[in-house]
Chain A
């Protein structure tokens, strides 16, 4: 078995070892499987492991590489997919009891893309039931129960890509795939101290993924560095005729050329002054240090402010109305009562009553907001702030009352389909990670990735690991 230090390597580092045949995909897969079997249940990180499929794919990768057919940086790298992505013949539960036995006879496009570049599917990551689409107020809102944070098992990972965050932080796989409708990649990445990319809406096909909000759902990578996110994003981005939400071919595809992107563009960075009402004191100190670091790389850092308006209300309204439609059969049949969370059992009834005129007004507000945001990005390439105003919260916390704060940036970013990257930027005295968030204009995923990679070139927070 490979050592823990090898399993904590980034995808880029593992890829070099695989390409040079220092380690084999089969050996790597067996090692991650053994670690996942030992630690996964303690963290509730997986919905299920797929050892047979993983070993088949690893053997195929090994054979290809031995023949000289190396497919690139994800070839032979084991990963976990959030359990809302369809994998042919394997249960896809959406994290919810009513769908515990659901099996699809096709793969999600993302799964096919990753298969095509030789990545190895190790298992399905645990998640909040229905990605939080019916609302939830406890970390236990999942078929697998509460996912525990590898940095402190009494704390939560955040959701809804809970398992994906824990798997990457605990080195149970090389990387994971998460999804975000509002906060579900950025928040778990921050709480778990990993790097997570929420791509521009429409750059990654959602075909075969559970739909929650048709106009807000995104799929993105969670990994141990911004560079890893870049490589994974390059593999999964692209137009797909099976998802009408994807951008045209020339706008959806993403090509990664490391040297050119880091040196070729001077980013104009805006430091957001009104993204959070208040940061917890330990976070504020860490974020200040991160700001100083950024100023070293980007001397033009200037204060910036988000436009004010009812963006959160509009985002909530759209998400709730689209979710009520997406899960209408579940609500109307009364089977929502099988969900774990008290809020999940009732919110659907409320969301079904949202008047069509109000939903349309929210969509009209979105159009206005898109123009305001475009104006803002005339002055900046990247906006920066803390990923969250708090660190990982206790597992038993009532999220409805205890983790409820204004999040205008989350609302704006997800309403307008903007890309965001969260990277770790420090740790509190309690050894809990703090995240820094970069946001760019729609389509400019390269900017957030460039900013994150630049930040990580001079920091080591992303290399720090929990003791398990």
Chain B
């Protein structure tokens, strides 16, 4: 029996909700989409998993449910437990990256170009355009 059958959804409903979840993964709390709750144990109870803020926990739970919706039928109970723990850890990594202060003008190293030689320092400017606006 797959997770859709467990939660009493028809296959069509399941597919629709899975698609919705996929599109809103980081926005919608899992409970809104899967009213019967997750199929695996609550993630905050996963041994060894980091504690998350309520907002982060909601996001992590939604992501976990998204994975179950898309690929749950391929995962064993053991797989799900391991995935749950990894998901918690991934969320705390995401939180730390998001907490790092970035300015609008901080561009991404889209394709890594190692800084082989030090570039000459530019003279300091009074204020960046972003700060003026």
Q: Kindly provide the distance from the CB of B57 to the nearest chain A CB, expressed in whole angstroms.
A: 16
| Residue contact A378 to B97, C-beta cutoff 8 Å | no
Cross-chain contact A216 with B97 (CB below 8 angstroms): no
Residue numbers in A under 8 Å from B94 (CB-CB): 313, 317, 354-355, 358
CA distance A350 to B71 in the complex (A): 10
Question: How many whole Å from A98's CB to the nearest CB in chain B?
Answer: 14
Q: B11 at the A/B interface (Cβ < 8 Å)?
A: no
By beta carbon, the residue of chain A nearest B110 is A363
Question: With contacts A334-B74, A353-B63 known, is A363 near B97, CB below 8 A?
Answer: no
- Contact A370–B75 (Cβ < 8 Å): no
Given A245-B111, A370-B109, decide whether A353 and B67 contact each other with a Cβ distance below 8 A.
yes
CB distance from A123 to the nearest CB of B (A): 32
Residue B5 at the chain A interface, CB threshold 8 Å: no
Interface presence of B70 (CB below 8 A): yes
With a cutoff of 8 Å between Cβ atoms, the chain A residues found around residue B99 in the complex are 310
B78 and chain A: residue at smallest CB distance: A342
Contact among B66, B79, B106, B110 for A368, CB-based, below 8 A: B106
CB contacts under 8 Å to A, within B111-127, are: 111-118
Whole-angstrom distance between the alpha carbons of A310 and B96 in the complex? 6
Interface residues of B in 24-50 (CB under 8 A from A): 25-26, 48
A417 contacts B106, CB within 8 Å? no
Known: A316-B93, A317-B97, A401-B48. A347 touches B86 (CB 8 A): yes
Would B97 and A365 count as touching, CB distance under 8 A? yes
Residues B114 and A416 in contact, CB atoms below 8 Å apart: yes
The interface residues of chain A lying within 8 Å CB-to-CB of B108 are 360, 363-364, 366-367
Q: Is A408 an interface residue (CB 8 A)?
A: no
With contacts A200-B114, A367-B106, A442-B116 taken as known, whether A349 is within 8 angstroms of B83 at the C-beta atoms is yes
Q: Is the CB of A364 within 8 A of B106?
A: yes
Interface: A89 (CB within 8 A): no
Known: A317-B93, A365-B102, A367-B107. A201 touches B112 (CB 8 A): yes
Residues from chain A with Cβ under 8 Å of B102 in the complex? 361, 364-365, 368
Q: Are B97 and A353 in touch, CB under 8 angstroms?
A: no
Contacts of A443 in B (CB 8 A): 114, 116-117
Q: Is A235 in the interface zone, CB < 8 Å from B?
A: no
Given A350-B90, A370-B109, answer yes or no on A361-B114 (Cβ-Cβ < 8 Å). no
Min Cβ gap A55→B in Å is: 40
- Within 8 Å of chain B (Cβ to Cβ): is A309? yes
Asked if A251 lies at the interface with its beta carbon under 8 angstroms from chain B, I say yes
Asked if A247 is at the interface (CB within 8 A of a chain B CB), the reply is yes
* B residues near A364, Cβ cutoff 8 Å: 102, 106-109
Closest to B59 in A: A355
With a CB–CB cut-off of 8 A, which chain A residues contact B113? 202
Contacts of A353 in B (CB 8 A): 25, 63, 66-67
A90 CB to nearest chain B CB (Å) = 31
Are B109 and A342 in contact, CB atoms less than 8 angstroms apart?
no
Q: How far is the CB of A330 from chain B (nearest CB, A)?
A: 12
Provide the bound-state CA to CA distance between A216 and B109, in Å: 12
The answer to whether residues A310 and B86 also contact, given A201-B112, A251-B116, A366-B109 and a CB cut-off of 8 A, is no
Q: Which residues of B contact A345 (CB under 8 A)?
A: 79
- Find residues 416-467 in chain A having any chain B CB closer than 8 Å to their own CB: 416-418, 441-443
Any B CB within 8 A of the CB of A326: no
Cα distance A368–B107 in the bound complex, in angstroms: 9
Does A346 have its Cβ within 8 Å of any Cβ on chain B? yes
CB of B87 within 8 Å of the partner chain: yes
A109–B87 CA distance with the chains assembled, in angstroms: 38
Q: Are A245 and B112 in contact (CB under 8 A)?
A: yes
Contact of A358 among B66, B87, B97, B115 (CB under 8 A): B97
A215–B106 CA distance with the chains assembled, in angstroms: 18
Contact B97 A346 (CB under 8 A): no
Q: Which of B25, B102, B113 has the most CB of A within 10 A?
A: B113
B82 CB–A CB distance under 8 Å: yes
Question: Which chain A positions have C-beta within 8 A of B82?
Answer: 342-343, 346
A401 vs B82: C-alpha distance when bound (angstroms): 12
Beta-carbon contact of A314 and B86 below 8 Å: no
Is the Cβ of B114 less than 8 Å from the Cβ of A417? Answer: yes
* Interface positions of A (Cβ within 8 A of B): 135, 200-202, 215-216, 244-245, 247, 251, 309-310, 312-314, 316-317, 320, 334, 337, 342-343, 345-347, 349-350, 353-355, 358, 360-368, 370-371, 373-374, 377-378, 401, 416-418, 441-443
- Using a CB–CB cutoff of 8 Å, the interface residues on chain B facing chain A are 25-26, 48, 63, 66-67, 70-71, 74-75, 78-79, 82-83, 86-87, 90, 93-94, 96-100, 102, 106-118
Other 4 A-B pairs with CB < 8 A, given A313-B96, A346-B86, A366-B109: A245-B111, A314-B97, A337-B74, A361-B98
A-B contact pairs, 26 of them (CB 8 A): A200-B116, A202-B112, A216-B112, A245-B111, A247-B116, A309-B100, A310-B96, A310-B97, A313-B93, A313-B94, A314-B100, A316-B93, A320-B90, A337-B74, A350-B67, A350-B83, A350-B87, A361-B102, A364-B102, A366-B108, A370-B109, A371-B115, A416-B114, A441-B116, A443-B114, A443-B116
Q: Top 8 closest A-B pairs, CB basis?
A: A442-B114, A363-B108, A443-B116, A417-B114, A313-B93, A215-B112, A310-B96, A367-B109
